Structure formats: C-alpha cells, structure tokens
Amino acid sequence: MRKWICGLCVLLVFNAQAAGGLRERVSLEGLRKAGIPVEIFQEAGVEKEEIVLYLSFWKDLVYFPAAGNYREAGSRFFFENSWLEERNFGGNRVHEGCDIFGEKSVSGFYPVVSMTAGVVEKIGWLPLGGWRIGIRSPGGGYFYYAHLSSYAADFQEGDSVEAGEMLGFLGDTGYGEKGTTGQFPPHLHMGIYVRTEKREEYPLNPYPVLEFLQDKQKNFFY
Ligand SMILES: [Zn+2]
C-alpha cells in the first residue's frame, strides 16, 4: 500500500495535470492512508477534490506556526475557520487564509516558526500582508506568513530553512504603506497555496492543517 501512496505523490509532482484525474480517482480511504485526517477536512467544509491538493505537501508538515514564548509556560493560541470571509481593506475581497491569535495581544512576543522545511521564495513588505515571508516546501506547498513584527534573521530569497526554524515574530504590520502597524490586533495570517494546471497560486484553506498541527507547538526556553 505504501508503494501505491508514493506512486500517487510522484504522479502529483511530475504531472500537475494529473490532479484533475486524481480528483476523480482518489478515494477518501486513499486519503486516509496517506495520513490525511479526512474528518477534520470535512468538518471544515473542504471538498474531496480539494483535499487531494494537500497531498503533495502533507508529509512536509511538522510544526504549528506560532510558538510559545520563553517567558510564558504553555502559550496558547486561537484560530477559527474564516475561509473566504469578506474583508474590506484594499477593496472587496475574501479571506484567503487563517488568522492565529495569541493569549497575549502583544506584537513581537510570540515566535513564528516554519511549519515545514523549505526555501525562502518571497520576503519583504506587502501593503496587505505587512512584513511577510513565503516558504516553498519540498512537496511544492507555498506557506505564507504575514503581519510579522520583525524577521528572526536576515533571510534572502533562496535561503533554506528547517522545519521549526524561527522566521520572525507575530505582529500587526500591514494594511498600509511600508512600516504601518496597529491597524488590527496582532496575529499571524497564514496562507497555503499550491500550483495547479490553471493557477500559479491556488489558495487552500489552512484551517484543517492548523488543527492537525495544533499539538505540534514548539516552545522556546532559553
Ligand atoms: Zn488573515
């Protein structure tokens, strides 16, 4: 069976167009065997055809992206399924991600870590995302971390990062010109995108992934 699952992944990697065919063929049982918690996805309202798109990077997932602060025993985080809710800043648009809030509403307090190993694909300021960093995982998932208060290192595009490596700190940057802060409570906006035959950035709901990684929180003790 293991062989069959690997074959499936290879197909996905080498032929993005196969995704269309896979959507028809992969059973829920097949997804479960690949380690995907199908029930969590279904509760989050993700259709089977979409769940298949998470397969390519599923084995890359290691850590929950918000980490505990060393000054606090057992930092807790909150997030809700706000997929495609309306947002107004920057014109009418919908929420392509998931927001993670810490118990303390303080910018620069909680470390943000990479959920996967990968390569820094994009870094710098975006009017909506503020200070953001985007990591491409080995399986091809693009993990987008936004509103950071600062970066943990002088990352450059092309740099490799490890799963669990500190990328920066949870903050409240964005919604304006470079350096804008305080337009909303501090939180981490997390987005996941994959390449499909039709779109370079096909957005996936990160909520079920975050639920899956909830108990894989990293805590920093110095
Ligand atoms: Zn958001």
pLDDT of residue 87: 85
Q: Are residues 53 and 82 in the same domain?
A: no
Residue 189 belongs to what domain range?
77-213
Alpha carbon of 19 to ligand 1 centroid (Å): 28
Span from the CA of 187 to the centroid of ligand 1 (angstroms): 8
65 in a structural domain: no
Q: How many CA atoms lie within 13 A of 69 on its CB side?
A: 17
Distance 99 CA to ligand 1 centre (A): 5
pLDDT surpasses 80 at 101: yes
Structural domains of the chain, count? 2
Q: pLDDT class for 17, splitting at 50, 70, 90?
A: very low
DSSP state of 207: H
Interval between CA 69 and ligand 1 midpoint (Å): 22
Q: Are 181 and 115 in the same domain?
A: yes
How many whole angstroms separate alpha carbon 35 and alpha carbon 5? 10
Residues 173 and 124 both lie in one domain: yes
Same domain, 24 and 90: no
Q: Are residues 84 and 150 in the same domain?
A: yes
Compute the distance from residue 98 Cα to the ligand 1 centre, in Å.
5
Same domain, 20 and 115: no
The DSSP H or E segment spanning 43 is helix 38-43
Q: Which amino acid is at 2?
A: R
Q: If you measure from the C-alpha of residue 94 to the centroid of ligand 1, how many angstroms do you get, rounded to a whole number?
A: 10
Task: Name the strand (E) or helix (H) holding 102.
Answer: strand 98-102
> What is the whole-number distance in angstroms between the Cα of residue 53 and the centre of ligand 1?
21
CB 67 within 8 A of CB 166: yes
CB 170: neighbour CB atoms within 10 A? 28
- Indicate if 109 and 139 belong to the same structural domain: yes
In angstroms, what is the span from residue 209 Cα to ligand 1's centroid? 15
Q: For residue 16, give Cα distances in angstroms to 26, 54, 56, 140.
A: 15, 13, 10, 11
Q: Copy the structure tokens of residue 77.
A: 């985080």
Indicate whether 45 and 83 sit together in one domain.
no
Q: 159 alpha carbon to ligand 1 midpoint, in Å?
A: 25
Residue 157: CATH number of its domain: 2.70.70.10
User: Do 146 and 110 belong to one domain?
Assistant: yes
> Quick check: 72 pLDDT over 90?
no
The average pLDDT across 26-30 equals 88
pLDDT at 39 over 70: yes
Ligand 1 centroid–CA 190 distance in Å is: 7
pLDDT tens-digit map of 132-177:
999 999 999 999 999 999 999 999 999 999 999 999 999 999 999 9
For residue 22, the CA-to-ligand 1 centroid distance in Å is 30
Tell how far the Cα of 6 is from the centroid of ligand 1, in angstroms.
Answer: 33
* Pair (15, 94) in one structural domain: no
Residues 81 and 53 both lie in one domain: no
- For residue 147, the SS3 value is strand
Whether 140 and 209 share a structural domain: yes
CA of residue 131 to ligand 1 center, whole Å = 13
State the sign of the Cα–Cα–Cα–Cα dihedral 197, 203, 209, 211: negative
The residue type of 46 is: V
| Both tokens assigned to 51 | 């769940």
Cβ atoms of 169 and 148 closer than 8 Å: yes
